[in-house]
Structure formats: C-alpha cells, structure tokens
Amino acid sequence: MASPGKRTSRSGSNKVRIEEVARLAGVSAITVSRALNTPQKVNEATRNAVLKAVEDTGYIPNRLAGSLASNRSRTVGVIVPTVTNSIFADKIKGLSDVLSEAGYQILLGQSGYSPEVEAELVSALLAQSPSGLVITGSAHALRTHTLLGRADIPVVETWTNAEAPVDMQVGFSNEDAAFAAVAHLAAGGYRSLALVVAPMVHNDRALGRKRGFDRGLAHFGLRQTLPPIEAEFSLRNGADALARVIEAQPQTDAIFFANDVLAAGALLECRRRNVAVPDRIGIIGFDDLEIASEMVPRLTTVAVPRYDIGANAARMLLRRLAGETIQPKLTLDFEVVARESTRRTCGDRV
C-alpha cells in the first residue's frame, strides 16, 4: 500500500490540499485559489461551489506555500522590549486589532531592551518573509540598520519621533512631553526637582524624556537636586527612588517619574512614610495608565497614545502595502493630565 517509488507525500499529515477542493468543486486549483484570495475575479456560482467544497473538506490553505509562491506572507513582525510593560502590551493590542481585521498575523519578538537581541530578532523575523516590520524606538544596532536596509519591506519605528526614521515612524516627542511635565511642575510653584527615569542606555524614549526634563529646568530656571536616578519600571523601584531622593536631598519639592508605575510606587511609599503629596512633595508620572487615575491621591501624569501608536503603525503599514504613498512620519499628541499629586495654579494648561 505504501508508495514504492519517490516520496509521494512527505508530510505524514492528513491535511486537505487545494487540489482536492478543486476536484470536489469541479474546477482547477487556480480557481480555488482565486475564489479564496480574489473572489471578485471568480463567477459567483463558481465561487459558491468552491466555498462549499472548502466547507465540506475542512480545507485550510497552506499559507507557507501561498506566501512562497506569491512573495506576500500577510505576516507582520513586531518587536517590543517586553510585553510585560503594559505600554507595549497596549501597542500590541492596537496593532493586533487593526492587522487581524486585515487578515494579517503577528510574529512577536521581545528584545529585552538589548540592541543586540533586537538585531537577532530582526534577522530571525526577516527569515519568515514578513510583509512588514514594526519595531520600537530609533536606537538600533548597526547590524539592524544593515538588515533593514537590505530587506525590501516597510518598517515602522514606534514610540519615537526621530529626525530621520529608517522608513516610517509613529510616535510623539518624548522630549516635548517631558518638557510639558516640567512646565506643569513649574506652574505649580515647584522649584527643586528630581528625575527618575528608565535606564537610558539604548533607550531613546528615556533619553528624550531626560532631555525634555533638562530643557524644562533651564527654561523655567529650576534646579535639579540630584543626578537622574535610573530605574526599571516597577512599584518597588519607584518607592526606592522616592526614599533615596527624600533622604539624600530633602529639599527636593517635586519628582518627575518618567513612568506611572514608578510614580505610583513612590506615592505608596509617601503614604508609608507619611510624606504629604502634593504639599511636601509633588509627584508627576508618565503614560497615564489606569493606576494614575485611581491612586490616592490621584496621580498627575502625561497621557500618551499607547494604543493609537500601535493602531496607526498598523494602518500605515497596510496603506503602504496597498501601494498608497503616505506621509512616513506620524507625530501623535500627548497631554498633561493635572490631578492631585501636584499643586495646580490657575490657567495650568500645556
């Protein structure tokens, strides 16, 4: 019973192939392909016959073969530092919602904030012939630039608004947003500030926020009480940073946390230490996560378009793949959301 000669079927699987569907529908394989991929090119009656055959056989097209033949994979590579940071989870949600609507799948990679790992991931994802790539930030290893330059696919950088993107870009100015945060603190009468920010090496978002902070200090004539504290996002790290600031530089009257999780951790530490917020010390965060609006006191923060970065990156990619010529740089808005963790003065608009 086994085939005697060459391999007639290498796959041990019992998968239905397009040929079988074609036979059942009484058409050729290419017509089945067209009925599924470009239905408008197939007569309605034929199409229905094909769809019925697909239904009856339980046919699932082999996209690997289709992609290989057509040179279009309907797959998008997505690289984030980590999914466990909810700002990136929100971005992925935005990407996923738009892409799956259009029939695209997401290939996910996590770089752990390492440019070397990112380069490896780019290489690994390119091997899958994705239709496009969505990456985070604009600071990449040289090898990444080489790879992206050689790969002939659309690339969207997110969470950044660099001068010269690799290809396309969706984000906002981290620097301007941080500046706005400082402006808000200045308007509240705070004068002696501290900065707590994510580790800045290889992280252009964090770096931009520091630059905006520095620009704000200079512009409003404020002073910085101690060098920036670099801490990965976690409540504990925020609490520790708060402790370090008020112990080392008790005259500090406000702290800018470049992340709401850090800021929330600090607020909780203030509670434990009975430090009055916003009077003894003002706290401003960044991202406008849900925790900001629910903390006691409620946390002033900078709202950024976390979900929309993803959704717009996806739309940009799809338009480009559809052959539209598009504006390659999209700069979205941010907004300072004044709440109870900072003093307000009238007319505090940014």
Partner DNA sequence: TAACTCGATGTTAGCGCTACCATCGAGTAA
Partner DNA sequence: TTACTCGATGGTAGCGCTAACATCGAGTTA
User: What is the binding site for a second copy (CB under 8 A)?
Assistant: 10-15, 58, 60-65, 67-68, 71, 73, 75, 78, 82-84, 86, 89-90, 92-93, 96, 100, 103, 105-110, 121, 123-129, 146-147, 150, 152, 234-236, 239, 265, 268, 271-272, 290-291, 293-296
**75: three-class secondary structure by DSSP:** strand
CA–CA gap between residue 164 and residue 176 (Å, rounded): 18
**Cβ-based nearer residue to DNA, 26 or 189:** 26
Instruction: Identify whether the C-beta of residue 105 lies closer than 8 Å to the C-beta of residue 76.
Output: yes
Instruction: Report, in Å, the least distance between residue 321 CB and DNA.
Output: 13
Q: What's the 3-state SS for 172-216?
A: CCHHHHHHHHHHHHHHCCCCEEEEEECCCCCCHHHHHHHHHHHHH
Residue 100: which of DNA, a second copy, none does it interact with, CB under 5 to 8 A by kind? a second copy
Q: Which residues contact 344 (CB under 8 A, 6 or more apart)?
A: 187, 188, 338
Chain centre to alpha carbon of residue 315: 14
Instruction: Report, in Å, the least distance between residue 14 CB and a second copy.
Output: 7
Choose, by CB under 7 A, the member of 28, 48, 100, 331 that binds DNA.
28
| Rounded (5°) CA angle 246-341-160 | 90
Is residue 1 part of the contact set for DNA (CB under 7 A)? no
Residue 41: which of DNA, a second copy, none does it interact with, CB under 5 to 8 A by kind? DNA
Residue 72: which of DNA, a second copy, none does it interact with, CB under 5 to 8 A by kind? DNA
Q: Which stretch binds DNA (CB under 7 A): 8-16, 87-95, 108-116, 261-269?
A: 8-16
Is residue 125 part of the contact set for DNA (CB under 7 A)? no
Is residue 109 part of the contact set for DNA (CB under 7 A)? no
Question: CB count, 10 Å around CB of 247?
Answer: 9
Residue 18: which of a second copy, DNA, none does it interact with, CB under 5 to 8 A by kind? DNA
CA–CA gap between residue 206 and residue 14 (Å, rounded): 52
Choose, by CB under 7 A, the member of 48, 55, 56, 70 that binds DNA.
70
Instruction: Report, in Å, the least distance between residue 64 CB and a second copy.
Output: 5
**Cβ-based nearer residue to DNA, 28 or 345:** 28
CA–CA gap between residue 55 and residue 33 (Å, rounded): 14
**Cβ-based nearer residue to DNA, 65 or 248:** 65
Q: Which residues contact 289 (CB under 8 A, 6 or more apart)?
A: 86, 87, 260, 261, 301
Instruction: Report, in Å, the least distance between residue 326 CB and DNA.
Output: 23
Is residue 100 part of the contact set for DNA (CB under 7 A)? no
Is residue 272 part of the contact set for DNA (CB under 7 A)? no
Is residue 142 part of the contact set for DNA (CB under 7 A)? no
Chain centre to alpha carbon of residue 36: 32
Instruction: Report, in Å, the least distance between residue 99 CB and DNA.
Output: 19
What phi, psi does 75 have (nearest 5°)?
Answer: -135, 140
Choose, by CB under 7 A, the member of 69, 142, 164, 322 that binds DNA.
69
CA–CA gap between residue 318 and residue 326 (Å, rounded): 11
Question: CB count, 10 Å around CB of 68?
Answer: 11
Q: Which stretch binds DNA (CB under 7 A): 23-31, 101-109, 151-159, 271-279?
A: 23-31
> Angle at which helices 29-37 and 18-25 pack, to 10 degrees?
100
Nearest Cα to Cα of residue 71 among 151, 13, 168: 151
Residue 278: asked if its preceding bond is cis (omega within 30°), the reply is: yes
Residues at the site binding DNA, with contacts judged by CB under 7 A = 6-11, 13, 15, 17-19, 26-34, 36-37, 41-43, 45-46, 59, 61-62, 65-66, 68-72
